[in-house]
Amino acid sequence: MKRSAGILLYRRMNGQLEVLLGHMGGPFWARRDAGGWSVPKGEYDADEHPEAAARREFQEELGLPVPDGALVTLGEVRQSGGKVVTVWALEGTLDPALVVPGTFEMEWPKGSGRMREFPEIDRVEWFAVEQAREKIVKGQVPFLDRLAELR
């Protein structure tokens, strides 16, 4: 079973709860907005602690260190493909203009034999929670609900 871990950064702006999401990079997500955004996260092996993986993946995907502060667990969710995602919430701020995303390589177009490099996340933005519900991958919506209950 594949497992991923991530950190959902949040802040309050003008009394409104906002979350930081990344738009998934690569050709499959290029034209998709609704359902094409995610908590910064990534897969980890059984020998890595999920919280350590969440911190590592945040830095790898955004190119910035995890802001200081206490992580609050938002638990696990099993996505439709079977992957189990564990997420922590962290209150903090980050300027999306400073993000330098990590990259991945894949054959594109498929079957062409040509390897191309794509950003893991091609955009990063702050969204009010209600707007984030429309943007985020459906399997991650429970993390927004859990965050709203905590805050």
Residue 28 has pLDDT above 90, yes or no: no
HSE, CB side, 13 Å, CA atoms: give it for residue 99.
25
pLDDT digit string, tens, across residues 66-90: 999 999 999 999 988 899 999 999 9
Residue 36, pLDDT score: 95
Model confidence pLDDT, tens digit, residues 84-107? 999 999 999 999 999 999 999 999
**pLDDT band for position 139 (50/70/90)?**
very high
Distance of alpha carbon 139 from alpha carbon 142, whole angstroms: 7
φ/ψ (deg, to 5) at 122:
-100, -10
Give the per-residue pLDDT at 4.
Answer: 97
